[in-house]
Chain A
C-alpha cells in the first residue's frame, strides 16, 4: 500500500474508541431524554379520564388544543368526530389529577375570538357537587365573537344614523335647543320669569291688576276699622244688643205668666170636655136600641110583604 497517496492522518488520539463511544452515549442519552421529556410533556404517563363535549359546530377546535379551567389547562382535545345526528363530538382527555375541578354542574364553553384560536373553557360553580364521571357527555355552549359582528355593525350603523338625524341643523333637537336658548334669554331679561310666561300686554295688565288689588286691600282695611268701631264701640251693636236681650227676658217672663193662666183655662175646658164624653156614651146606647127596633120593623114589613096576596116571587131560578 502506498501511504503517500492516502490522506494525511491526524495525530493519534488517546482512548479514541472510548471517547467515540462516550460521544455516542451522549447522543443516545440526549435523544432518549428528549423523547422521554416529550412523552411526559404530551401527557403519555398520566392517567386520564374521557370527557365528551357535544357542539353544533366544531369550527376552531383542533386536536391537541387545551381546555382551560380558571386559565389553567386541565384537558386536551384528543379527537373530534361527527355524531350520527350531525353534531360534533369533541373528545377530551382530562388528567385524573385535574379531574376534581370538573363537577356534575360544570359548564363548558367554546369561545371563538377575533384574534387567536378558539378556546375551550370549563366553569364549575359548586365545587362540592359530585365529580364528573368518566366518559361524561356534556353540551358545550358556543360563544362566537365573529358571529356577533354583523349584528353589531348594523346596530352601530342605525345608532349613527339616529345620531346624525339628531344632530342635523334642521332636527327637532336643534329646534328644541333654539327654543331653550330663547327661553333662557327671556328669563334673564328685565321682566324675568314673567316675561317668559306672558306676552308684554298681558304682563302690563297683570301689573295694573296688582296695583288695583293693592288699593282695594287698603280700602277694605279702612272699612274693617270702621266696622270694628260700629260693632264693638261704646254705642256699637254689641252693647245695644245686650240691652235688647234684657228687655226680651222681661217680655218672656210676662209671657210665661200669661201662659200659666191659659193653662188653667185649658184644665177647666178639659173637665167640660169629660162631661161631654159621658153624654156621648149614653147617646150611643140609645142609638143602638133605635137601630135594633128599626131592623125589627123592617123584618116585619118584609114578612107582611111575603104573606100578602100580591107577593112576588123574588127568587131567580136557573132553567
Chain B
C-alpha cells in the first residue's frame, strides 16, 4: 500500500509540500537579505564589481527605456482619451484629470514598468545566472575564492531593480506631461489647475504607498527570477523549469504588492 492511498499519507504529503513551499519562500527571503547586506557593503563597489554593475545597469536599462517609453506613450494617449471622452459624456469632466492621474500614474505605469523590466531585463539576467550555474562557472568562481553572489548576482539584481525604477519614473513623468497636454493643449494656462489636481491626488499617504510600491515591484521583478534559478532544492524536486517557477513566484509577488497598494490607497 503506497503512502498516498491512505488519508494519513495524503495529509503527510500535503504537509510536506506546504513545508517545502514555505522553505522555498524562506530561501528567497534569505537571499534577498543577503543581497541587501551585500548591496550596502562598500566592498561590493570595488572597481571591478562597479564596472560589472555599471555595464548591467546601462545595458539593461537603455535597451528597455526607449521601447517602453514609446509603448506607454501610446497606451497613455489612448487611455487618457477614453477617460476624457467618457467623463465629458457623463458630465463629470472635473473628475477626468484626477482619474487619469490615479489610473495611469498610480496604478498602470508602475505595474507595466515592472513587467516590462522583468521581460526585457531581469529574466534574461536570471537566465545568464542559470547558464553560469549549469555550466559549472558558479562552482569555478567559488573555487577561485570569488563570491559569485557578490560578483555575478548582485550587479544583476541591482541593474534589474534600477531598470524597473527608471522605467516607472520616466514614464510617470511622461504620462503626467501627456495628460496635461491632452487636457489643456500646448498652453501654460492650465498649469495651476493641473498642479492643484496633481497635488490633490498625491497626498502624503498616497505618495508613500506609490514609492513603496515602485520599490517593492522593482525588487520583486529583479530578485524572484534569480532566486528561482539559485534555488537548487526546488529545482531538483520540481517537474517545471526554474524560469517558469520564477515567473509564477514573481507574478504572485506582483499581485500581492498591487493588492496591498490598492488596499492602502482606497481603504
* Given A1-B141, A64-B203, A66-B200, A17 contacting B136 (CB threshold 8 A): no
Within the complex, what minimum Cβ distance (angstroms) separates A15 from chain B? 10
Contact B202 A42 (CB under 8 A): yes
One of B10-18, B58-66, B75-83, B252-260 at the interface? B58-66
Would you list which residues of chain A between 1 and 57 have a CB under 8 Å from chain B?
1-2, 4-7, 10, 13, 16-17, 19-21, 23-24, 26-27, 30-31, 33-34, 37-38, 40-43
Say yes or no for B195: interface residue by CB 8 A criterion. Answer: yes
Contact B51 A16 (CB under 8 A): yes
Q: How many chain-A residues does the 8 Å CB contact rule pick out?
A: 32
Q: How far is the CA of A26 from the CA of B57 in the complex (A)?
A: 13
Kindly identify which residue among A5, A13, A34 contacts B58, using a CB–CB cutoff of 8 Å: A13
Q: How far is the CA of A92 from the CA of B165 in the complex (A)?
A: 36
**Of all chain A residues, which has the CB nearest B194?**
A41
One of B28-36, B115-123, B127-135, B223-231 at the interface? B127-135
Would you list which residues of chain B between 155 and 197 have a CB under 8 Å from chain A?
162, 165-166, 169-170, 172-173, 195-196
Contact A27 B58 (CB under 8 A): no
**Of all chain A residues, which has the CB nearest B197?**
A41
Contact A34 B57 (CB under 8 A): no
Say yes or no for A195: interface residue by CB 8 A criterion. Answer: no
Contact B137 A2 (CB under 8 A): yes
Q: Which residues of B contact A43 (CB under 8 A)?
A: 199
Q: Which residues of B contact A66 (CB under 8 A)?
A: 196, 200
Contact-residue size bin, chain B (C-beta under 8 Å from the other chain):
35 or more
Within the complex, what minimum Cβ distance (angstroms) separates B240 from chain A? 23
Q: Which residues of B contact A5 (CB under 8 A)?
A: 132, 135-137, 140
Contact B200 A23 (CB under 8 A): no
A-side interface mostly: helix
Q: How far is the CA of A260 from the CA of B54 in the complex (A)?
A: 168
Across chains A and B, the number of contacting residue pairs, with CB separation under 8 Å, is: 88
Contact A6 B55 (CB under 8 A): no
B-side interface mostly: helix
Contact A19 B58 (CB under 8 A): yes
Contact A27 B165 (CB under 8 A): yes
Kindly identify which residue among A27, A37, A38, A64 contacts B169, using a CB–CB cutoff of 8 Å: A27
Within the complex, what minimum Cβ distance (angstroms) separates B66 from chain A? 13
Contact B132 A41 (CB under 8 A): no
* Given A38-B198, A66-B200, A73-B196, A20 contacting B58 (CB threshold 8 A): yes
Within the complex, what minimum Cβ distance (angstroms) separates A254 from chain B? 119
Interface string of B137-159 (1 = CB under 8 A from A): 10011001010000000000000
Interface string of A54-87 (1 = CB under 8 A from B): 0000000001101000000100000000000000
**Of all chain A residues, which has the CB nearest B165?**
A27
Q: How far is the CA of A33 from the CA of B177 in the complex (A)?
A: 13
Say yes or no for B241: interface residue by CB 8 A criterion. Answer: no
Q: How far is the CA of A138 from the CA of B59 in the complex (A)?
A: 61
Contact A34 B172 (CB under 8 A): yes
6 nearest CB pairs, A to B: A41-B199, A5-B137, A20-B54, A7-B128, A5-B135, A20-B58
